[in-house]
Amino acid sequence: MNVLIIYGTTEGQTRKIAAWTATHVRERGHRVELFDGGALASDLKLGAFHAFIIASSVHQKHHQDTITSFVFAHHELLNARPSAFISVSLSAALDDEKPEAQKYVDHFVSVTGWHPSKTILLGGALRFSEYDYFQEQFVKFVVMKHSGAVSPERDHEFTDWNALADFVDGFLETAG
Q: Which domains does the chain have, with CATH numbers?
A: 2-124+159-175 (3.40.50.360), 126-158 (no CATH)
Q: How does pLDDT run across 88-145, given as a tens digit for each residue?
A: 998 888 777 899 999 999 999 999 999 999 999 999 876 555 555 555 555 555 555 5
pTM of the model: 0.86
With cut-offs at 50, 70 and 90, classify the pLDDT of residue 160: very high
Note whether 120 and 163 are within 8 A (CB).
yes
Note whether 121 and 101 are within 8 A (CB).
yes
Q: By three-state DSSP, how is residue 31 classified?
A: strand
